[in-house]
Amino acid sequence: MTDQPHASAPPPSGKSGPSAKYGAIPPALWIIALSTLAPFPIAAIAYGWGAADVARPALTVILNWSGCVLAFLGGVRWGLESGRPEPRPLRLIISVLSPVVAWTILFSRHRIPDGWVIGGCIAAFLAQWLFDHQAPDVPARYPRLSTAITAAACISLAICLDQAMKTGHV
């Protein structure tokens, strides 16, 4: 991880400090990121403590949203890597694996118990987070955003996993 911008990034606009090093996260980016994370806790609460007619659709929402967010994070990683003057093929391949794994997990629903599907989503988020945190040459803000997304997703999915285990959907 580095505080230096990627070679393809536009030069800083004469500012000094963390934002000049692409380390500061602009407020608008946080607002968008946090808004995008909202379905995770909302669906987890609905699944964990909602009535049966709310809980089942809430699980569908959180699992589908997990697939979308995992695919998005893979796309971000693809964009960061493909923007390099000489993209590294292995990193491009790995960035494509994230959405493939996410959709494989989603397509396994109703074929294997929900607990395993939820656990698979948690594992996919954690694997992606680990990969992102050892990625070289990314803006310093990227790991912080990745951590926020992963934490929100995994905590919410853990609530769902707990409920699935309590209800026998494992």
Q: 120-132, pLDDT tens digit by residue?
A: 999 999 998 988 8
- For 134-154, the pLDDT digits (tens) are 877 777 777 788 888 899 999
The mean per-residue pLDDT over the stretch 25-38 comes to 85
Mean predicted lDDT score pLDDT of the chain: 83
Averaged pLDDT for residues 9-21:
48
Distance CA 161, CA 167 (A): 10
* Mean pLDDT, residues 8-36: 65
Of 31, 43, 93, nearest to 68 by C-alpha is 43
67 pLDDT above the threshold of 70: yes
Q: Which helix (H) or strand (E) holds 134?
A: none
CA–CA gap between residue 150 and residue 70 (Å, rounded):
9
Average pLDDT rounded to a whole number, residues 74-81: 87
How many CB atoms within 10 Å of residue 62? Answer: 25
* Residue that wins the pLDDT comparison between 19 and 46: 46
100-109: average pLDDT: 91
Structure tokens, 157: 């999915």
Residues 154 and 46: their CA atoms lie apart, in Å, by 16
Write down the domain spans for the chain.
26-34+42-167
**Is pLDDT at 31 greater than 90 in this prediction?**
no
- Contact, 44 vs 156, CB < 8 A? yes
Higher pLDDT, 21 or 32: 32
0.95 exceeded by the pTM?
no
Distance CA 28, CA 31 (A): 5
Residue 1 has a pLDDT of 43
